[in-house]
A and B are shown apart, each in its own frame.
Chain A
Amino acid sequence: MIDPETADAEDAALAAAPWPKRFLFERLQNAGEVFLLTGSALREMPAGIRKMGLVVNQMAAIGLGSMPLTVIVALFTGAVAAVQAAYQMRDYVPMIYLGTVIGKSVVIELGPVLTALVVGGRVSAAIAAELGSMRVTEQIDAMETLGISPIRYLVVPRLVASIVMLPVLTIFADILAIAGGYLVAVLTLDVSGHTFTSGLKLYFKIQDVFSGLLKAFFFGAIIATMGCYYGLRTEGGAEAVGDSTTRAVVASCLLILIVDYLLASFLFRVLFA
Chain B
Amino acid sequence: MPDSAIEFQGVWKRLGTKVVLRGVDLSVARGECLVVIGRSGSGKSVLLKHVVGLLQPDRGTVRVNGIDVASLDEGELLSIREQMGMLFQGGALFDSMAVGENVGLALREHTPLPERQIEEVVAEKLALVGLSGTEAQRPSSLSGGMKKRAALARALAMNPKIMLYDEPTTGLDPITADVINRLIRRLQDRLGITSIAVTHDMRSAYHIADRIAMLHEGRIHAVGTPDEIQQTRDPILRQFIEGSSEGPLLPT
Task: Let me know if B84 is at the binding interface, CB within 8 A.
Answer: yes
Q: Within 8 Å CB of A243, what residues of B?
A: none
Give the B interface residue count (CB, 8 A). 31
Minimum CB–CB distance from B161 to chain A (whole Å) comes to 14
Complex partner residue of A144 from B54, B82, B95, CB under 8 angstroms: B54
Residue in B54, B84, B92 whose beta carbon sits within 8 Å of that of A139 in the complex: B92
Per the bound structure, the CA–CA distance linking A75 and B12 in Å amounts to 59
Q: How far is it, in angstroms, between the C-alpha of A144 and the C-alpha of B90 when the chains are bound?
A: 16
Contact B84 A145 (CB under 8 A): yes
With both beta carbons as reference points, the residue of chain A lying nearest to B54 in the complex is identified as A141
Residues of B within 8 A of A137 (CB): 90, 92
Flag if B12 contacts A142 (CB, 8 Å): no
B193 shortest CB reach to chain A, Å: 16
Cβ of A68 under 8 Å from chain B: no
Of the candidate stretches B105-113, B122-130, B178-186, B244-252, the one touching chain A is B105-113
Q: In the complex, A116 Cα to B12 Cα: how many Å?
A: 45
- Kindly report which residue of chain B lies nearest to residue A133, judged by CB atoms: B95
> A24 near B: Cβ within 8 Å?
no
B residues 55-93 with Cβ under 8 Å of A?
58-59, 78, 81-82, 84-86, 88-90, 92-93
A133-151 contacts to B, CB under 8 A, are 134, 137-139, 141-148
Q: Summarize B's interface: helix, strand, loop or mixed.
A: mixed
Inter-chain CA distance A125–B191, complex, in Å, is 46
Q: Interface segment, A4-12, A87-95, A98-106, A199-207?
A: A4-12
Q: Report Cα–Cα, A1/B58, bound state, in Å.
A: 6
The answer to whether A2 has its CB under 8 Å from any CB of chain B is yes
Q: Provide the residues of chain B in CB contact with A144, threshold 8 Å.
A: 52, 54, 81
List of B residues within 8 angstroms of A3 by Cβ: 58-59
Residue of B nearest to A2 (CB): B58
Is A146 touching B89 in the complex (CB atoms < 8 A)?
Answer: no
Name 14 extra pairs, CB < 8 A, besides A4-B59, A138-B92.
A11-B17, A134-B94, A137-B90, A138-B88, A139-B93, A139-B94, A141-B54, A142-B86, A142-B92, A142-B94, A146-B81, A147-B78, A147-B81, A147-B110
Interface residues of A (CB under 8 A from B): 1-4, 7-8, 11, 134, 137-139, 141-148, 235
